[in-house]
Amino acid sequence: MIAVAGKYSALPQAVKPAAAPSDAARANAAADQADTARQAASPHIFIPKWRNLVGYQDWVWKEFREGGYLAKTFEFEKNTARHRIRAAARMRDGWRQNNKAEHRLLATVPAREYFRARAVDKDFWSCNRNLKNYKRDNPDVPIFV
């Protein structure tokens, strides 16, 4: 016999039996237990605070000062640019313009240097003044302006 007591009676109050958990609730509980077990078994990883990390500009200057990977890459590019320019100049050695042709060849520049200058200024190669300045800075470049 189950006795149901009132709010103010001395008898303990009967508790309604809880409804059986659904399949989805059981699956979520099992997943939570699995996650808890996995987290307990995983190693602790230290993640530094953002304020202690070096900013991009500081990293770049540090790389150049200490001679890291970035400095070596930059130095390699500087040293190989002259070889690329001279290879382009050798292709045009002894070459002359055809005065009867409709088009004029203004310069022979390696692709890497062409696209780098174009990335800085879209109209860099269309201005004769820029070509003359480029020729002044790089005397090996075959520029015919």
pLDDT in tens, 39-77: 666 666 656 565 566 677 887 888 888 888 888 888 888
- Please provide the size of the chain in residues: 145
Question: What is the predicted pLDDT for the residue at 119?
Answer: 92
Q: What is the pTM of this model?
A: 0.51
Q: Poorest-confidence range of 23-27, 93-97, 116-120, 132-136?
A: 23-27
Distances (CA, A) of 49 to 33, 44, 46, 144: 30, 16, 10, 56
Question: Do 85 and 138 meet the contact criterion of CB atoms below 8 Å apart?
Answer: yes
